[in-house]
Amino acid sequence: MKDEDGQYFYHPLENIEDVDIFYEAVERGHLTKAVSEERPYTYWTIELYDQQNGIRGGGGLGILAADTRRVAEQMGVPFALITPFYPSEVQQKLENGAVIDEHKPVDYKKFGFRFVDKVNIKCNGGLCSLDVIEKKFKSTRIISITEPNFGELYSGMSGGDHRLYQEVALGFGGYAALKLLGLKPAIMQLNEVATFFAALARLDELASNGMDFYEAVVYTRKHTLYTNHTLVQAAEAEFALEQFERFVFPNLKSPAVKKWLRDKFDGEHIKLSSVTIEIAELRSGVSKLHARVANYRDIAGNKVKFKAVTNGIDMEYWVQPEIMQFMREAEIVDAVDYPTSNYREQLDTLTADKIREFKRAGRRVLNKVLAARPDQNGQILRFNEDDFIFDYRRRFVDYKRPDLAFRDPVRLRNILENHGAHYILAGRVHAGDNVMSEKLKNLLEVVAKDDYLRTHVHYLPDYDEALALGLSCGSNVAVNVPIVGLEACGTSWMKDVANMNLLVSTHDGGVADGSMKSYLNVSGKDEAEELDMLYQRMEEAAEIWENDFDLEYSMKLQLMEFLPVISGARMMQDYLDYLFPK
């Protein structure tokens, strides 16, 4: 459908939304939203971390999106993930202790995407033409919008024009792309507020095609899920009315929607969370603790309630094949990796011998990954079967405390020396995060000064999926020490637990879905106490690995508690139960 300027725009309502069904449903007092091939579960995300398909994200948000789609594929759920294809990406390397960003072009044609057509959105006084591309995977697909000047993920300032352009392009362009492909969303899951404009595009379409405005609001609200990953609303960037005048309002057809949106401004500014809450009646947080403590208010000032749907991982993707084969054969998990009803008893077949055998296979995976990834000294690492490895790998952000284990270098050295152990750090510093760049530099200086640490602590730059996979398969102990209350969920630790590493962790994020007694818990009334306990737990973890009985016991305990938390199929089922109640 082309609009009066001869540009592609929205199709008329009767082709898109089932107005009659809608009115019938309203009369019956409930709204239908069954999923089918033409009415898929739609998942909107500004970030996807899926390197096999040419899209590299920044961290957990994108990893979660990729895992969610893959799990939907395994479960046969009709599912469309809508995300930008960024024509350029950042890779990091280390030079003289400082992190250097490198920008590399990426071509979607090399990753099996098919060009569908172009759609146009209005932006900054002109028209922007976006390529719609698509890649199908059984019951699921990735639909992307892109153009040569789309930029990189999170390029430009948050709250800046370029970010707003990217978000508007994903929302309005992505919604037009769905229509182009003949799809109607059964549900729209908004993976964080940067995807708000997709729900706005739907509201506008309904309201400008004959549906009563208030009914259009009800309809959109009932079919939109806002998934929150952030703890505090205050930290969110704002956009100015003046920016909306240039990028958002020109894309709206309905005067009522324009007025509705304008009224949501707090003076001259708007936070996308406040309007996302208005447009989505369904809201979820990403762990039990997070859903409870996320502090959000709606425009009326009332505290927003979030339904807890703890993140999970695609076990097929992240867990060593030997372990998956064992878990399926022992009926610990079913064919889609959902824990069986008697998985606890079935876990009894796990022995220390098996765990050690898995670890030997995991170490081969790790060595393969490390062959192309020198550490801070330019050295290629290769580990033997009997080497002992602690691993800490996650984005280098302050609250995750990558430097905690290095506060007392003498004590760290003693632990490592006692057990002939290595400590591997992998992490990415956000572009422009000078505080964390500086912390990393200091940490590496501490390491370089000590002759033992120098050869047993390894920093691997450019943390990505390959390193995540290699390290979770090949390590013995995972260290996860966010400041309690600040991790929304975290999924790195899940990869470790599923690959049979012992977990040394603070009780935060998704870890707090389980009991403190089921893993090596780090706690204390202040950071000094936590630090002391971290070292105690690291020592304890190394001792557990030296004793078959303890190893078997601890590993079973961890898996019994966390398998259901970790399972991506469990997460998807939780979402389906919440979105499509029987």
Binding site for ligand PLP (CB under 6 A): 59-60, 63, 394-395, 463-465, 468, 490-492, 495
**Which CB atom, from 228 or from 492, has the smaller least distance to ligand PLP?**
492
Check the CA dihedral 332-358-470-386 and report its sign. positive
Write b or e for each residue in 401-420: b if 16 or more Cβ atoms lie within 10 A of its Cβ, otherwise e. Answer: bbbbbbeebebbbebbeebe
What the block records as the tokens of 418 is 């006692």
The β-bridge partners of 188 are 42, 224
**Which CB atom, from 183 or from 486, has the smaller least distance to ligand PLP?**
486
CB-closest chain residue to ligand PLP: 60
What the block records as the tokens of 150 is 């789309």
Measured distance CA(349)–CA(362) in Å, rounded: 20
DSSP state letters, 179-191:
HHTT---SEEEEE
What is the bridge-based pairing of β-strands 502-506 and 477-480?
parallel
What is the bridge-based pairing of β-strands 269-271 and 238-240?
antiparallel
**Long-range contacts, stretch 542-547, CB < 8 angstroms, 24+ apart:** 542/388, 542/415, 542/418, 542/419, 542/421, 542/476, 542/477, 544/502, 545/388, 545/476, 545/477, 545/502, 546/419
Type of residue found at 429: V
CB of 467 to ligand PLP, least distance (A): 7
CB of 67 to ligand PLP, least distance (A): 9
**Which CB atom, from 35 or from 566, has the smaller least distance to ligand PLP?**
566
Ramachandran assignment for 294, one of left (phi > 0), alpha (psi -120 to 50 degrees), beta (any other):
beta
Exposed/middle/buried for residue 557 (C-beta within 10 Å: 0-12, 13-18, 19+)? middle
CB of 503 to ligand PLP, least distance (A): 12
**Which CB atom, from 203 or from 468, has the smaller least distance to ligand PLP?**
468
CB of 92 to ligand PLP, least distance (A): 12
- Per-state percent for the chain, helix, strand, coil, to nearest 5: 45, 20, 35
**Which CB atom, from 427 or from 564, has the smaller least distance to ligand PLP?**
427
**Which CB atom, from 319 or from 468, has the smaller least distance to ligand PLP?**
468
DSSP state letters, 3-45:
-TTS-B-PPPGGGTS-HHHHHHHHHHT-------SSS-EEEEE
**Which CB atom, from 394 or from 430, has the smaller least distance to ligand PLP?**
394
In terms of Cα–Cα distance, which of 344, 385, 346 is closest to 366? 385
Three-state secondary structure string covering 304-359: CCCEECCCCECHHHHCCHHHHHHHHHCCCECCCCCECCCHHHHHHHCCHHHHHHHH
**Which CB atom, from 139 or from 480, has the smaller least distance to ligand PLP?**
480
**Which CB atom, from 135 or from 393, has the smaller least distance to ligand PLP?**
393
**Which CB atom, from 135 or from 394, has the smaller least distance to ligand PLP?**
394
The β-bridge partners of 45 are 191
In terms of Cα–Cα distance, which of 494, 532, 524, 527 is closest to 511? 494
CB of 135 to ligand PLP, least distance (A): 21
CB of 326 to ligand PLP, least distance (A): 22
What is the bridge-based pairing of β-strands 41-45 and 79-84?
parallel
In terms of Cα–Cα distance, which of 151, 161, 166, 158 is closest to 106? 151
CB of 227 to ligand PLP, least distance (A): 14
Relative orientation angle of helices 60-75 and 568-579, to the nearest 10 degrees = 80
In terms of Cα–Cα distance, which of 568, 582, 576 is closest to 187? 576
**Which CB atom, from 198 or from 426, has the smaller least distance to ligand PLP?**
426
CB of 464 to ligand PLP, least distance (A): 5
Enter the DSSP assignment of 172: I
The β-bridge partners of 119 are 130
CB of 106 to ligand PLP, least distance (A): 16
CB of 59 to ligand PLP, least distance (A): 4
What the block records as the tokens of 357 is 């055998």
**Which CB atom, from 50 or from 167, has the smaller least distance to ligand PLP?**
50
CB atoms within 10 A of CB 200: 25
**Which CB atom, from 62 or from 174, has the smaller least distance to ligand PLP?**
62
**Which CB atom, from 92 or from 414, has the smaller least distance to ligand PLP?**
92
CB of 111 to ligand PLP, least distance (A): 18
CB of 480 to ligand PLP, least distance (A): 8
**Which CB atom, from 224 or from 492, has the smaller least distance to ligand PLP?**
492
What the block records as the tokens of 467 is 């390193």
The β-bridge partners of 93 are 100
